[in-house]
Chains A and B, each alone.
Chain A
Amino acid sequence: MSDGATAPGPADPAAASARGAHGRARVAIVGMPNTGKSTFFNRLTGARARIGNWPGVTVDLLSSPVILGAQAVEVVDLPGVYDLHGYSDDERVVRHFLEQNPVSLLVVIANATQLDRQLALPLQLKDLGLPLVLLLNMEDEARKLGIEVDAATLSRELAMPVVLMSAKHGLGCANATRAMEGALRGSVPRRASPAALAADDSLEARLDALVDRAVRLPVHAPPGLTVRLDRVLLHPWLGLPLFLGAMWLVFEAVYTLGAPLQDGVAAALEWLKGVALLPLTAGVAPALRSFLEEGVYDGLGTVASFLPILVLFFLMLGLVEDSGYLARAAFLMDAFMARLGLDGRSFVMQLMGFGCNVPALMGTRVMRSRGLRLLTMLTIPFSLCSARLQVFVFLTTAIFSSKMAPVVLFSLYLLSFAAAFLTALLYRRRLVSDEPLLLELPPYRAPSLRQMWVRAWSEVSHFLREATGFIVLGVVLVWLLTHYPFDVPAAGPETLAGRLAAWTHPLFAPLGFDSLLSVSLLFGFVAKEIVLGAMAVIYGAGEGSLGGVMADRLTAVQAYSFMLFVLLYTPCLSTVAVLRQESRSWRFTALAVAWPLALAWLASFAFYQGATALLGD
């Protein structure tokens, strides 16, 4: 099997002078899911890709400038589609993109081991009348499976250059770019005509004829290693415990490695504050100084504290997804999750949310159906994250006996799951997955470190661009509430926050909260990490003596009611920022804030009133 390009040359006779007149030429990459499309995109573009908006399209697409030949072109990575005429969200996105955005070249990536069905896509795309190049990826796997592809015949039959390659190992990539350069020469950017995007009846026959002529496909099972691994990992009894064990390992890896890194970032920020910010603000009026130090700087610090976790999370998610295990997790958990309107991948993200909700929400992008994704995003904020755990560990040990404290903590974990499942049950009819669970189970593959790194990096830069403004603004707002007017003690009853607590007292009194607790809930909206520090300020206690003060002022029933509320209500500002970033809908973001708030109030109310009635308090 040769990996040479067999290029009949660009069919378009249009003069080369058209080039440049339309500005930068645009190259769109299309392909079915699991063809290594993103791997090729990353190899082509390096880590320079940016996520951006496109006309007619409701999701973010990655794009990057690339030099091809002597020409600067813009390469766009379109979502994976099975069928150009299909009905899924991604298939609509690709159609709308091609209708609305002029394209100079379409690069189709197909998995060389599955040409019996994957050639349907280039056949459909051919009708668009755009210049095409077909790249047959995973050539190495195909060769191992004894699949023979006659690239010359394929190229002739399809009337487009066909190149065999392996994007992961870099084999044939030079030929691929050469074929792309050739096809780009003299190509005029144009839109796809909507007529060509309508369904096509003769496709099946054309596909079969093409496969017959150009592909020799021995009957093959997946590689032996995959069969052997699956026998254990998908075992009827062992599969589930092994899955939970694997998830635990991933979880430990992310958060035990992440915690010291987060501490490091915090220490670095503190140091920077000492040497750079404080000398600068020394002569400034106290109010402005507090604004800069506790508003803006701490807001930026909140953003920075997520970076190590995000990188680690996406490295691990890359490992789980690229190795092929995520699809297995879906298989194992589906029987249960399907009843909640979710699938196994939702469960993986929900588990990861127990470390931190922010990366788990970003990770839902592995689910391509919008309904399923939004429903999963609605359940994740109920996962008891490590920041909330800090608050709970502190309060349970301060207020409950050493025998009761672990029981109380465990009950909060149970309630965390219960709230997520209840939410899924309540909203599964409104946020319906419009795709059936029809997932490919790819063979196990060794993930490429480069690919994992590029992805983690792109996620982090996306978060920085999208969420920073929102988070800093929120931190500043809460700072203002708790510090204005500036001549009274911070977070005291005379501040805006104190007055807000007094006004809302009728709302929180039935839950057993005094106004001091209500003010700390306001801080908790920024980040649960700062709740304890804020409480120390509000209660006028040092952090060392806070436990004693809390134990004096709160009954066990009040404390549990408060913890229930903290567990369920809006997790933190960063979570809200990411909910908006990922859903791109303010309406959904409002729902994702309002519903947990309502549930928190109801749960605390029911508990506090029930418990005080029972105990005759």
Chain B
Amino acid sequence: MTLDVLPPDQTATIAAVEGETALTSRMRAMGLRVGREVMVVRRSRRGGPLQVRVGSTDLIIRPREARLVRLRARPADGR
């Protein structure tokens, strides 16, 4: 599963951040790093950005970039 399809209010752990170096280093600096817990707070309508909470920071991220964040499968959640 990737971050762009994570349902709101569910947390998951980041398994990998893909993409080119420029993008991934920015994402890392914002807190999107392997092993961190991440949660989608809300999504805007019509394919707009997501509000994501990671560590101590709330972020706006577009679905295109959120798709690059792969999440660890969580058997307990059934998804």
Which residues of A63-84 are within 8 A (CB) of B?
82-83
Known interface pairs A86-B26, A335-B45, A441-B58; 5 further A-B residue pairs with C-beta atoms within 8 A, sorted by A's residue number = A85-B25, A117-B29, A117-B31, A438-B60, A440-B59
- A236 CB-CB contact with B under 8 Å: yes
Which residues of B16-37 are within 8 A (CB) of A?
21-23, 25-31, 33
A37 to B58, CA, bound (A): 19
Q: Which of A83, A114, A437 contacts B62 (CB 8 A)?
A: A437
B44 with A330: CB separation less than 8 A: no
Which residues of A237-295 are within 8 A (CB) of B?
239
B49 with A331: CB separation less than 8 A: yes
**Interface size counted on chain B using CB atoms at 8 A:** 29
Chain A residues with CB under 8 Å of B31's CB are 114, 116-117
Interface residues in chain B, defined as those with a beta carbon under 8 Å from any beta carbon in chain A: 21-23, 25-31, 33, 42, 44-49, 51, 53, 55-62, 65
Q: Which of B25, B42, B49 contacts A86 (CB 8 A)?
A: B25
Q: How far is the CB of A609 from the nearest CB of chain B, in Å? A: 38
A79 to B28, CA, bound (A): 19
A330 with B28: CB separation less than 8 A: no
B61 with A437: CB separation less than 8 A: yes
Chain A residues with CB under 8 Å of B53's CB are 221
Q: Which of B23, B30, B61, B62 contacts A117 (CB 8 A)?
A: B30
Q: List 9 A-B contacts (CB under 8 A).
A: A82-B30, A86-B26, A87-B22, A116-B55, A234-B51, A331-B60, A438-B30, A440-B59, A441-B58
B25 with A438: CB separation less than 8 A: no
B44 with A438: CB separation less than 8 A: no
- A582 CB-CB contact with B under 8 Å: no
- A316 CB-CB contact with B under 8 Å: no
Chain B residues with CB under 8 Å of A113's CB are 56
Nearest B residue (CB) for A330: B60
B56 with A217: CB separation less than 8 A: yes
Q: Which of B33, B47, B58, B65 contacts A335 (CB 8 A)?
A: B47
Chain A residues with CB under 8 Å of B25's CB are 83, 85-87
A438 with B26: CB separation less than 8 A: yes
Interface residues in chain A, defined as those with a beta carbon under 8 Å from any beta carbon in chain B: 32, 82-83, 85-88, 113-117, 120, 147, 204, 217, 220-222, 230, 234, 236, 239, 327, 330-332, 334-336, 338, 434-443
Chain B residues with CB under 8 Å of A85's CB are 25
B49 with A437: CB separation less than 8 A: yes
B58 with A334: CB separation less than 8 A: no
Given A331-B51, A334-B49, A335-B46, also A117-B26 (CB < 8 A): no
B60 with A116: CB separation less than 8 A: no
A336 to B29, CA, bound (A): 27
Q: How far is the CB of A470 from the nearest CB of chain B, in Å? A: 36
Chain B residues with CB under 8 Å of A332's CB are 44, 48
Given A436-B65, A438-B27, also A117-B57 (CB < 8 A): yes
A220 with B56: CB separation less than 8 A: yes
Most buried by A among B22, B26, B28, B29: B29
Q: How far is the CB of A428 from the nearest CB of chain B, in Å? A: 15
